[in-house]
Amino acid sequence: MASNKVPLKGYMDGIDISAWQDTIDITKVPCDFVIVKATEGTDYKNRYFAKHCDQAMKAGKLLGAFHYANGGDPHSEAEYFIAYSKKYVGKAILVLDWEGRNNPQFGRSDRAWCKEWCDHVYRKTGVKPLIYIQKSAMDNVKGLGYRLWVAQYPDYERTGYQEHPWNEGQYECDIRQYTSVGRLPGYDGNLDLNKSYIDKTTWKKYAAKKTGGSQEKDTGSNSGKSNNKKKSIELIAKEVIAGKWGNGDDRKSRLKKAGYDYNKVQAKVNAVVKASQKKSIDVIAREVIAGDWGNGDDRKNRLKKAGYDHVKVQNKVNEMLGR
């Protein structure tokens, strides 16, 4: 349901930047906050990350750091991000950038991947991250327990900060990105412009490390003792997916030590992950239009065999084609 929530008084204007803005001097650009790209996947680090973060802090700007997902192992990508941004953990809001470019899991396992990454970062840092997502894919990550930074543009016309971005109030988000061709004094180039619906105090609260449950050590799973009241395979599989049992040989050893059958647990994990990786109806509909699923009864049979509702897919196809 659309929200008609009135934006908070005292909203903030800000920018997000990456290595593309290598020459920017944040002390000269008007902004309340700066969100800086730190890493991508497990093989890219923004070499200007620390420079830009330090500039922002020196200028008294609120800070954010984001990781661009490549859809690899979520725990590995999370660790890569944490290691590179650790100097700013507790000072910056942390963000997962979930987009389709260079990310084969986008539109396939949005919920499972994003939750694993965010859960891992929250557990390791005590900072609960936000998820950056385009408006068209927003519903794919809603309800995971993590706040949203949503991107939606009306056009690609150059603009400065906007008090009331297009389509404002039609959905809930903490930060709204409304252009990628923003222009501001102090920098001769395009900038992503954003409006924050949270105030300075809340921003700092989001950035601060939490104590207790957010950084808790694994219990039960790492005690090394078998319990007479053993958990079900389904529950253990969920804990494995959430990262509570480690990886590889470490996972195998810990499960065995706790009295669980590693092969049965892993089989259940594989089944759960496979189920979560089904593509969205929108993605399947686009593939149907592109001819990837055949025609007539052949299409119907192939969709059914792959676990999709032929009628829902066809309805979406008709909608996209304006029928």
Looking at residue 213, its pLDDT comes to 41
Same domain, 181 and 45: yes
Is 89 a member of any domain? yes
**Count of residues for the chain?**
323
Same-domain pairing of 172 and 72? yes
Please, what sign has the CA dihedral across residues 85, 90, 91, 96? positive
Provide the residue range defining the domain that includes 288: 281-320
Residue 7 within a domain: no
Angle between helices 281-289 and 310-320 (to 10 degrees): 70
User: Which pLDDT tens digits describe the chain residue by residue (323 residues)?
Assistant: 333 344 444 689 999 999 999 999 999 999 999 999 999 999 999 999 999 999 999 999 999 999 999 999 999 999 999 999 999 999 999 999 999 999 999 999 999 999 999 999 999 999 999 999 999 999 999 999 999 999 999 999 999 999 999 999 899 999 999 999 999 999 999 999 999 999 999 999 999 988 644 444 433 333 333 334 578 888 888 888 777 777 778 788 888 888 889 888 888 887 776 665 567 788 888 888 888 888 888 888 888 887 788 888 888 888 878 76
Burial 192-217 (b: 16+ CB within 10 A, else e): bbbbbbbbeeebeebbeeeeeeeeee
User: 3-state SS string over the chain?
Assistant: CCCCCCCCCCCEEEEEECHHHCCCCHHHCCCCEEEEEEEECCCEECCCHHHHHHHHHHCCCEEEEEEECCCCCHHHHHHHHHHHHHHHECCEEEEEECCCCCCCCCCCCHHHHHHHHHHHHHHHHCCCCEEEEEHHHHHHCCCCCCCEEEECCCCCCCECCCCCCCCCCCCCCCEEEEEEEECCCCCCCCEEEEEECCCHHHHHHHHCCCCHHHHCCCCCCCCCCCCCCCCCHHHHHHHHHCCCCCCHHHHHHHHHHCCCCHHHHHHHHHHHHHHHCCCCHHHHHHHHHCCCCCCHHHHHHHHHHCCCCHHHHHHHHHHHCCC
**Residue 221: its pLDDT value, please?**
35
* Biggest CA-to-CA distance, the chain: 66
In a domain, 212, yes or no: no
pLDDT at position 10: 63
Q: Which two tokens stand for residue 2?
A: 């659309």
CA–CA gap between residue 99 and residue 136 (Å, rounded): 11
The C-alpha atoms of residue 68 and residue 187 are separated, in whole angstroms, by 24
Q: Which residue has the tokens 């921003």?
A: 203
Quick one: 146 and 18 in the same domain? yes
Residue showing tokens 């008294």: 60
Phi and psi angles of residue 206, each rounded to the nearest 5 degrees, phi first: -65, -35
**Is there a domain that residue 4 lies in?**
no
Task: Say if 137 falls within a structural domain.
Answer: yes
**Within a domain: 105:** yes
Q: Is residue 2 part of a domain?
A: no
- Give the CATH number for residue 200: 3.20.20.80
71 plus 145 within the same structural domain: yes
Q: Which residue has the tokens 């609260």?
A: 205
Q: Which two tokens stand for residue 277?
A: 């990786």
What is the identity of the amino acid at 240?
V
Q: Do residues 93 and 198 both lie within one domain?
A: yes
Q: What is the per-residue pLDDT for 229? A: 56
| Whether 91 and 201 share a structural domain | yes
What pLDDT does residue 217 have?
A: 42
